[in-house]
Structure 1
Amino acid sequence: MPGAIDARLAELGETLPDAPAPAANYVPWVRSGPLLFVSGQISMDAGGIVKGLLGADMSVEQGAAAAKLCALSLLAQARAACEGDLDRVRRVVKLTAFVNSAPGFSDQPKVVNGCSDFLVAVFGEAGRHARSAVGAALPFGAAVEIEAIFEIA
């Protein structure tokens, strides 16, 4: 029987991808006490890495959609860490987000709302979190990369 979070994802019409493998010498997540630290997840869809430079060849709306893809990968990693049971997530504590930004682009918070809004839609009040949103050059030309801290049972 699916849990409440799986049911909520289905209501939203979303299916989590498999937890992506690390692209370098790191682990995808680490648990320390009740905290789960999930490594940065880049914007990926079924076609591969979603690439783009916000403020140049990608709009804020396209960037927000890329940030939502990061949220799906973050949840896939959390699901793996929680042995398949996302109902163990008690709270989204913090997001640190990086947006591949052209010089002068300053709407990183609007882009990262694509992830934040989705996590609130999934977890309700427990999805509200602290957050940083910064412009940066990203690996592989990815549009967005986001890491997360969750509190889990």
Structure 2
Amino acid sequence: MVKSFQGVRVAEPKAPIQQILVKDHMTTNLVTFHPEDSIDKVLEELTKRKISGAPVLDESGALVGVISERDCLAEIIKGKYTNTVRFPAKVKEHMSPNVMTIDPDMSLFDAAQKFLEHKHRRFPVMKNGHLVGQISLSDVIRAFPKLKHTTW
């Protein structure tokens, strides 16, 4: 009979599973627009900030829509036919008013699934009825290579 002199072995606790949440990868310093802003202003800001869209908030700060580069295209095309280089139409005329949102405590995997299902490029992040950030498809893509595969 062989006795071990190593004593009783205690199994090391497994590393806690890393929670991968939207709130840890979302943008919180947002560019926002008002429904009465002009498409000119939107195009200028989107270009200057190198972003493709932003939330639209009313006077009380409530989320009422999202405006994107794609939404602005209709006004750009209209300018071609009227031979104008200015785009005075209002955001409320071109924004997407039916906005799908995400909770900040949602798993990034669930958010990725939502991006696949709905083919959006961004989702506003809402907590208790207030806009707290925005998560884009790019934010999700950038998050995964940084994660350790053993902690998923």
Q: TM-score, normalised by structure 2?
A: 0.26
**Which has the bigger relative contact order, CA under 8 A and spacing at least 6?**
1
Q: TM-score, normalised by structure 1?
A: 0.26
| Structure that is richer in strand per residue | 1
Who wins on radius of gyration, i.e. which is larger? Answer: 2
